[in-house]
Amino acid sequence: MTGPGAKGGPLLRASGITKFYGDRVGCRDIGFELWPGEVLAIVGESGSGKTTLLNCLATRVVPTAGVIEYRMRDGRMRDLHALSDAERRLLMRTDWGFVHQNPIDGLRMTVSAGGNVGERLMAVGERHYGHIRETATDWLGRVEIAADRVDDDPRSFSGGMRQRLQIARNLVTGPRLVFMDEPTGGLDVSVQARLLDLLRGLVADLGLSAIVVTHDLAVARLLSHRMLVMKGGEVIEEGLTDQVLDDPQAAYTQLLVSSILQV
């Protein structure tokens, strides 16, 4: 575990998070703490509110009610939705990452792989081309993209490569918290396994905290320490990932776990 927050308390604290779309419930009264180095999975079926919750947490959607506090690098807890736009955007491009399910949503498709990874560095003031390129190439290596692809744009990359590029682009500034929305969705299983293994290694090496939305319980088991199970916009069960999966308490969780196909 890294960072000054490790001993100082949770990195993120959500309480009473509620989001209505008109009369419809997106998510209702959700609260939890995320501590430094922890990976939290949010699982549930389509429409269970897990992506709404993720978007509220990542300040991409304003919740109808509730407070989300985040421990800034100076150690102070701040109400995320009370931050100024400038503070929030700085946080998003330095201290946070957001890995979209579809890499097209998270990459600049007409910009080279090196430029995609280097963008955050340039955004925080790096002005030495050689250093930017060196760092970008190093990160491509860490996500298993060959150095000679650094000048190719992601339109020429496979789905798995695009997703790995998106991860490198997010991690280059050493964020403390990464949000992931179905990071392995849309990839075939062998590509998924490689990506999961890579993510698992990076999260452990960098001491990252992460919030991962997935409907895939195997992904949750491999990546996360803890789990929230959502249904109808509410959290119906939570706990250690292996505990929830091996000894599920709620009827719905038991159904979910028993529905996993065995190979």
Partner 1 sequence: MSAGAYNFAYLDEQTKRMIRRAILKAIAIPGYQVPFASREMPMPYGWGTGGVQVTAAIIGPDDVLKVIDQGSDDTTNAVSIRGFFVKTSGVATTTRTDAATVIQTRHRIPETPLAAGQILVYQVPIPEPLRFLEPRETETRTMHALEEYGLMHVKLYEDIARHGHIATTYAYPVKVAGRYVMDPSPTPKFDNPKMHRSPALQLFGAGREKRIYAIPPHTDVVSLDFEDHPFSVQEFDAPCALCGAEGVFLDEVIVDDAGGRMFVCSDSDHCEERRAAGHEGTLAGAPAWSGAAAAAATEDAS
Partner 2 sequence: MKLPRLELFDVAKSFTLHLQGGLRLPVIANVSFAAAAGECVVLGGPSGAGKSSILKMVYGNYRCERGEILVHADTGTVDIVTAAPREIIELRRTTLGYVSQFLRVIPRVSTLDLVKEPLIEEGADEAAAEARAGELLAALNVPARLWRLPPATFSGGEQQRVNIARGFAAERPILLLDEPTASLDAANRDAVVRLIDEKKAAGTAIVGIFHDADVRDRVADVVVDVATFAAEMAA
Asked if 61 and 84 count as a contact pair (C-beta separation under 8 A), the reply is: no
The partner in contact with residue 250, picked from partner 2, partner 1, none with C-beta cut-offs of 5 to 8 angstroms by kind, is: partner 2
Is residue 6 a contact point for partner 2 (CB under 8 A)?
A: no
Q: Which of 209, 223, 179 is nearest to 53 (CA)?
A: 179
Is residue 15 a contact point for partner 2 (CB under 8 A)?
A: no
Contact map string, positions 125 to 154, toward partner 1, x by CB under 8 A: --xxxx-xx----------------xx---
Is residue 122 a contact point for partner 1 (CB under 8 A)?
A: yes
> Taking the complex as a whole, how short is the minimal distance between the CB of residue 227 and partner 2, in angstroms?
9
Is residue 115 a contact point for partner 1 (CB under 8 A)?
A: yes
Q: Which is nearer to partner 1, 12 or 117 (CB)?
A: 117
Interaction with partner 2 in 155-194: which residues (CB under 8 A)? 193-194
Is residue 232 a contact point for partner 2 (CB under 8 A)?
A: no
Q: Which is nearer to partner 1, 135 or 214 (CB)?
A: 135
Residue 259's contacts (CB-CB under 8 Å, 6 or more residues apart) are: none
What are the beta bridge partners of residue 32?
14
> In the set 16, 197, 207, 260, which binds partner 2 (CB under 8 A)?
197
The partner in contact with residue 254, picked from partner 2, partner 1, none with C-beta cut-offs of 5 to 8 angstroms by kind, is: partner 2
Which residues contact partner 1 (rule: CB under 8 A)? 85-86, 89, 93, 108, 111-112, 114-115, 118-124, 127-130, 132-133, 150-151
